[in-house]
């Protein structure tokens, strides 16, 4: 798997970009279902995502859905230093998000400290034996600079830096039970000559759940549709969409405290009693919401200075008050702060390790359209499950979360408490899909059957599952949730699954394909599928789990083997014998597969040669559109429909002999109803073919 690491400069004036490029980097986690932006200035999220819907993700879930959950967020560290209150912030309430030198953006990277990437996936360009997850992102930054490195720009109001040096490693996986969170493992060192006293750590976030593919609001109207809450048992603050894009979001975004290590102690609410017995302050998690940039000093007012920020970190809202909970479940433009502490002190040269999670989940439908009834315990079912997996992943061998390696917890026998330990499902099957006229052929290999779980140490493969969506599902915001299990094949003679074996899909001899050395052992065919419609196809492998170790049956990644497939006519080798045409014909505007805008319509030319030029004319001979078709490379990139609904281009499977057109002119103008002519010029032979079609309203 090839993973992306993209660097951009966020919201900088053009004349500043050249100065800042040597120190500011941005990278994107995208190995699983969650897409998360991170910078080496200590921020999370990509503020420009609402202005650039087709760009990289901010905190998108599922990936490529357009459902975003975060405008921006950032690390906060607060402490008393020589009697003064200091809070170093990576991001604060600011209309444009990260801006070089702006007040509140106090962390910077030194020149040359780029974001690095690692992966445990052996087929990744970033494979490394030092990697922790399927996609690690590693960066360093500090609050020590008063001037942004590589520039002459001072950081406004950065008068009392703590001297905090931060090493951050982000971890993400593509397992189907762990592809919805990113964990930040953060090492913070006091490099100053003064002790930090009564120390708090936290993340401020402006979580905004909107579907940027359909949202049309600008300015404050984009942000004031959100609500949220706090789950104290999982130490997570969350947000959801109330009135912004109903039916196109139904999703939660969350920020979660996971744990802190300090002076060989695990500092966590689970260990609070032991800490108090040893003379340390009782630590706790505090959650706050406030109205964006409402600096009025009220309970829900934004903090305007370090003293007010520290007070927010040290004292959370009272979530035992039902009136408060209900109020937060109604829409407003609120931001969030989740903090943890206090630590008694962090001395010069001393280090603290902090772990934080960013988690997404579906919001289960309750039947309510707005307000508190949307956010019930039932609606949070998947959110709580996902937060639990994030927590379990961080705890690793520490099964009871007490920070100690108790009897029976040392999985690898090294007498060290290891974190970030996940059981593993079988390996992802390698899949090859062939699109034909009215048929989809799904091939996969047998390598998953040799998988050994690293926790149970046994070969526990059980079977394969095949999923697909139905025609028309592709216009949903989250196509993945429309997946239906259409076939399962698993081991015979046990109490798990269907016990139907593999004979129905096992080939007599494995097959290979040109340019692909994989030997494919299985074939499943889908017949009578509709040409021109999108089908999402997913193939997974699953195991038996392990009752003794409390490991459920695990399934391989839905992301790795998710394909968008369109059936249709193959490459036309003999155009004189196979008529070139258009469907639907006549085309009636707002056909069943169209999107909601004039830019997201499509009709298909079919029975096309491998390489050809399609020209559309009015009946009077005026050229309307010219379209280039190449069967080898065509993935629908030339029209907006595929960008909005077709997922990642590299995962699209098209039949070769068809090409979709958005029914717009070359200058992207809407055409009128009427009769149109077309020609198709075969670029291999120079021969042209003609036809006609009608467009009706």
Residues 107 and 18 in one domain: yes
Q: Quick: pLDDT tens for 553-566.
A: 999 999 889 999 99
**pLDDT the model gives residue 477:** 61
Q: Which residue has the higher pLDDT, 534 or 247?
A: 534
In a domain, 155, yes or no: yes
B/e letters for 607-642, b = 16+ CB within 10 Å, e = fewer, are bbbbbbebbbbeeeeeebbebebebeebbbeebbbb
Mean pLDDT of all residues in 529-542: 96
DSSP letter, residue 245: S
Classify residue 408 by burial, with Cβ atoms within 10 Å: 0-12, 13-18, 19+: exposed
Residues 239 and 362 in one domain: yes
Residues 450 and 309 in one domain: no
In a domain, 572, yes or no: no
Torsion of CA 8, 13, 15, 19, to 10 degrees: -50
Single residue among 395, 414, 442 that ends a domain in this structure: 395
Task: Look at residues 153, 102, 82, 81 and name the one whose alpha carbon lies nearest to residue 90.
Answer: 102
Q: Which residue has the higher pLDDT, 546 or 674?
A: 674
Residues 510 and 548 in one domain: yes
Residue corresponding to tokens 């979530």: 319
Residue corresponding to tokens 């759940």: 209
Mean pLDDT of all residues in 106-130: 94
Q: Quick: pLDDT tens for 507-532.
A: 999 999 999 999 999 999 999 999 99
In a domain, 422, yes or no: no
- For the cut 70, the answer to whether the pLDDT of residue 14 exceeds it is no
Q: Quick: pLDDT tens for 628-676.
A: 999 999 999 999 999 889 988 999 999 999 999 999 999 999 999 999 9
Residues 558 and 633 in one domain: no
Share of the chain above pLDDT 90, in %: 81
Domain CATH number, residue 436: 2.60.40
Tokens describing residue 53: 């819907």
Residues 352 and 487 in one domain: no
List the domain range (segments joined by +) for residue 474.
431-566
Residues 619 and 540 in one domain: no
**pLDDT the model gives residue 361:** 97
Can you name the residues that pair with 265 across neighbouring β-strands? 262
- For the cut 80, the answer to whether the pLDDT of residue 435 exceeds it is yes
Residues 259 and 359 in one domain: yes
**pLDDT the model gives residue 22:** 53
Residues 90 and 226 in one domain: yes
Can you name the residues that pair with 254 across neighbouring β-strands? 238, 359
How far CA 315 is from CA of 262, 288, 300, 307, 620, in Å, comes to: 22, 8, 13, 12, 74
Q: Quick: pLDDT tens for 303-348.
A: 999 999 999 999 999 999 999 999 999 999 999 999 999 999 999 9
């Amino acid at each position: 798997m090839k993973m992306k690491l993209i660097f951009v400069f966020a919201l900088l004036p053009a004349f500043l970009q050249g100065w800042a490029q040597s120190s500011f980097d941005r990278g994107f986690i995208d190995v699983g279902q969650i897409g998360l932006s991170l910078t080496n200035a200590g921020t999370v999220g990509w503020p420009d995502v609402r202005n650039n819907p087709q760009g990289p993700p901010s905190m998108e879930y599922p990936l490529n859905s357009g459902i975003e959950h975060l405008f921006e967020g950032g690390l906060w560290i607060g402490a008393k230093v020589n009697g003064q209150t200091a809070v170093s912030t990576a991001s604060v309430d600011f209309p444009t998000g990260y801006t070089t030198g702006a007040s509140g953006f106090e962390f910077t990277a030194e020149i040359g400290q780029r974001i690095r990437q690692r992966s445990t996936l052996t087929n990744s360009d970033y494979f490394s034996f030092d990697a922790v997850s399927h996609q690690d992102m590693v960066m360093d930054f500090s609050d020590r600079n008063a001037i942004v490195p590589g520039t002459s720009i001072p950081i406004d109001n950065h008068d009392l830096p703590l001297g905090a040096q931060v090493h951050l490693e982000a971890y993400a996986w593509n397992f189907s039970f762990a592809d919805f969170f990113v964990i930040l493992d953060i090492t913070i060192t006091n490099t100053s000559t003064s002790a930090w006293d009564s120390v708090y750590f936290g993340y401020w976030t402006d979580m905004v759940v909107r579907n940027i593919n359909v949202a049309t609001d600008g300015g404050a109207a984009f942000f004031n549709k959100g609500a949220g809450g706090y789950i104290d048992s999982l130490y997570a603050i969350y947000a959801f969409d109330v009135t912004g894009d109903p039916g196109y979001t139904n999703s939660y975004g969350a920020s979660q405290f996971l744990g802190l290590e300090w002076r060989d102690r695990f500092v966590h609410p689970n260990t609070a009693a032991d800490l108090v017995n040893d003379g340390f302050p009782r630590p706790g998690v505090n959650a706050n919401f406030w109205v964006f940039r409402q600096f009025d000093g009220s309970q829900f007012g934004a903090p305007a200075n370090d003293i007010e920020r520290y007070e927010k970190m040290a004292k959370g809202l009272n979530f035992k008050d039902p009136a408060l909970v209900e109020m937060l479940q109604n829409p407003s433009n609120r931001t969030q702060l989740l903090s943890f502490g206090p630590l008694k002190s962090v001395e010069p040269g001393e280090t603290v390790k902090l772990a934080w999670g960013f988690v997404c989940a579906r919001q289960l439908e309750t039947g309510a359209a707005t307000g508190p009834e949307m956010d019930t315990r039932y609606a949070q079912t998947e959110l709580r499950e996902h937060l639990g997996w994030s927590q379990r992943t961080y705890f690793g061998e520490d099964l009871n979360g007490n920070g100690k390696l108790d009897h029976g917890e040392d999985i690898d026998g090294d007498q060290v408490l290891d974190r970030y330990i996940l059981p593993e499902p079988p390996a992802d099957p390698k899949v090859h899909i062939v699109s034909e006229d009215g048929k989809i052929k799904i091939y996969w290999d047998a390598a998953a059957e040799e998988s050994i779980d690293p926790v149970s140490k046994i070969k526990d493969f059980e079977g394969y599952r095949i999923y697909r969506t139905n025609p028309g599902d592709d216009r949903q915001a989250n196509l993945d949730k429309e997946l239906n299990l259409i076939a399962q094949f698993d081991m015979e003679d046990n109490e798990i699954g269907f016990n139907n074996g593999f004979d129905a899909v096992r080939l007599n001899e494995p097959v290979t394909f040109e340019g692909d050395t994989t030997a494919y052992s299985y074939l499943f065919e889908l017949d009578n599928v509709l040409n021109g419609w999108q089908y999402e196809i997913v193939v997974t492998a699953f195991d038996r789990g392990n009752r003794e170790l409390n490991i459920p049956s695990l399934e391989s990644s839905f992301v790795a083997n998710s394909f968008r497939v369109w059936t249709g006519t193959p490459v036309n080798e003999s155009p004189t014998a196979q008529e070139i045409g258009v469907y639907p014909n006549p085309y009636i505007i707002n056909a069943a597969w169209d999107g909601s805008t004039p830019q997201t319509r499509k009709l298909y030319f079919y029975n096309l040669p491998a390489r050809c030029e399609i020209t559309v004319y009015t009946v009077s001979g005026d050229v309307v559109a010219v379209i280039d078709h190449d069967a080898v490379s065509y993935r629908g990139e030339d029209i907006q429909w595929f960008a909005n609904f077709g997922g990642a281009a590299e995962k699209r499977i098209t039949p070769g002999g068809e090409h979709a057109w958005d029914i717009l002119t070359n200058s992207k103008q809407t055409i009128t109803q009427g009769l149109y002519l077309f020609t198709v010029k075969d670029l291999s032979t120079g021969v042209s073919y003609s036809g006609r079609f009608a467009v009706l309203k």
